[in-house]
Amino acid sequence: MSGNTVTLHRVIKAKPERVYRAFLDPDALVKWCPPHGFTGKVHSMDARVGGGYKMSFTNFNTGSSHSFGGTYLELKPNELIRYNDQFDDPNLPGQMQVVVRLTPVLCGTELRIEQSGIPEAIPVEFCYAGWQESLQLLAQLTEPEIPDQG
């Protein structure tokens, strides 16, 4: 971690297709993206280059929430997601950039994430810890091989 940037690395035991889909499917996103102690809601999503999304996290304990959104800048299926992100709260100014890289490896997907431009008011270590919790939930969502019962 340096400045207002977090860099994360994780190997997930799921194919890149499944991990990629979890970033762009609204139902999947609310299942894994909110860190522990938060619920999530996707208000809108247009998962294409130039499209955008709007989402909010709500603190389950206090009921307070914060909303944020951004624009998809680059999408390479199963390889790369690049988007900008900003909070609606004027006390958290600035635009963040997020780059998600997916690389197939023998046991699944190597995932590398860089989030830069984190507002000064957010301690970077909180952001880093939140991403770690979210990635744990992402693995729990994408790794199970559950056969279709249809």
pLDDT digits (tens, 9 = 90+) for 13-62: 999 999 999 999 999 999 999 999 999 999 999 999 999 999 999 999 99
Reported CATH class of domain 6-142: alpha beta
Q: How far is 86 from 14, CA to CA, in rounded Å? A: 29
Q: For residue 1, what pLDDT band results from cuts at 50, 70 and 90?
A: very low
From residue 78, alpha-carbon distances to 16, 88, 117 in Å are 5, 29, 25
Which among 61, 70, 4 has a CA at the least distance from the CA of 35?
A: 61
Percent of the chain topping pLDDT 90: 89
Rounded to two decimals, what is the model's pTM?
0.93
